[in-house]
């Protein structure tokens, strides 16, 4: 039997998220999480693409309202209808704001990395698009098309290669200065089309953490950062570490060669070296 709630999750264009969580509503913003117990809610109103959560307040006072704007109108209607139908009996004259709790939310490293990659990706596409337009303005339409097609691919290869090299240096640091423990296999996962084993280890504080390792063994040795126990790497053989480092460097160099070629073609187009194209 499925335990998934039929009440939709509301997402706004600025990243805010409102969801039903058993006996409360949880509003997640970029840097904070607001928990609104259902006992504090007077009613929920759908106002087009906005949702208003009206809280109970003492008699004679203006009701406090928590709003979520720029959401799906259909989802807002369904959310308001579903939650209003299950609101519990509310005590009269209660001040709902006193029961609403707010806590700061620290962005995880994965979320920061994802946001940084998204920004860099957008910047790269815009740069090569501008370069292609400039080349096209010189009348070299074929090279403009190739720059728009190959430029972002070369930049992606360079970025992946640079990240692989960074991970190899981090792995080297962890193997020298980290804490080595044994991790047990608990499942499998796929990353960029590759199959990895999911392994669990326990840090010095007794917290269970996971790491993905390309291994079929039941257990592996991993080294984690003493002050950042969530960062870990496999304690592989010297030959495998060397081959991984060489592969990362080759990937990076290939990406740089593609980037240099694209930039060279653009410069040549500006200088009129390809009149026949």
Rounded mean pLDDT of 262-271?
Answer: 88
Beta strands in 97-251 (DSSP E): 101-104, 179-191, 194-202, 208-213, 219-224, 232-234
What is the tens place of the pLDDT at every residue in 163-188? 889 888 988 888 888 899 999 988 87
Lookup: tokens for 262: 């694209």
| pLDDT top residue among 3 and 135 | 135
Measured in degrees and rounded to the nearest 5, phi and psi for residue 13 equal: -70, -20
Lookup: tokens for 27: 């509003």
What is the tens place of the pLDDT at every residue in 229-240? 888 888 877 888
Q: How far apart are CA 252 and CA 249, in angstroms?
A: 5
For residue 112, pLDDT over 90 is answered with: no
Give pTM, 2 decimals: 0.57
For residue 11, pLDDT over 60 is answered with: yes
Beta strands in the chain (DSSP E): 10-11, 17-20, 24-28, 32-37, 41-47, 50-55, 65-68, 101-104, 179-191, 194-202, 208-213, 219-224, 232-234
The predicted structure's pLDDT at residue 55: 87
Pairing relation of β-strands 101-104 and 32-37? antiparallel
Long-range contacts of 114-121 (CB under 8 A, 24+ apart): 117/159, 120/159
Measured in degrees and rounded to the nearest 5, phi and psi for residue 33 equal: -130, 125
- DSSP secondary structure string, 44-95? EEEETTEEEEEEP--TTSPPPEEEE-S--HHHHHHHHHHHHHHPPPPPTT--
Pairing relation of β-strands 65-68 and 50-55? antiparallel
For residue 124, pLDDT over 60 is answered with: yes
For residue 249, pLDDT over 90 is answered with: yes
The predicted structure's pLDDT at residue 3: 45
């Amino acid at each position: 039997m499925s335990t998934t709630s039929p009440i939709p999750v509301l997402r706004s264009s600025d990243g805010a998220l409102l969801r039903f969580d058993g006996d409360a509503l949880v509003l997640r913003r970029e840097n904070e999480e607001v928990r609104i117990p259902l006992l504090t809610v007077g009613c929920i109103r759908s106002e087009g693409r906005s949702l208003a959560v009206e809280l109970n307040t003492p008699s004679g006072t203006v009701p406090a309202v928590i709003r979520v704007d720029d959401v799906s109108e259909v989802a807002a209607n369904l959310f308001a209808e579903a939650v209003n139908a299950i609101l519990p009996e509310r005590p009269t004259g209660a001040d709902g704001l006193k029961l609403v709790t707010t806590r700061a939310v620290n962005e995880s490293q994965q979320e920061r990395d994802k946001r940084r990659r998204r920004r860099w990706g957008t910047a790269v596409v815009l740069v090569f698009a501008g370069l292609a337009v400039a080349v096209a303005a010189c009348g070299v339409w074929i090279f403009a098309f190739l720059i728009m097609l190959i430029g972002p691919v070369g930049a992606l290869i360079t970025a992946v290669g640079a990240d692989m090299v960074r991970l190899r240096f981090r792995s080297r640091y962890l193997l020298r200065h980290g804490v080595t423990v044994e991790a047990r296999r608990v499942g499998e996962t796929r990353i960029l089309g590759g199959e990895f084993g999911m392994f669990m280890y326990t840090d010095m504080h007794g917290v269970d953490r996971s790491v993905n390792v390309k291994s079929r063994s039941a257990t592996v040795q991993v080294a984690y950062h003493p002050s950042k126990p969530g960062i870990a790497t496999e304690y592989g053989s010297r030959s495998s570490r060397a081959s991984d480092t060489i592969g990362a460097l080759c990937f990076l160099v290939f990406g740089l060669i593609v980037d240099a070629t694209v930039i060279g073609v653009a410069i040549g187009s500006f200088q009129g070296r390809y009149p026949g194209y």
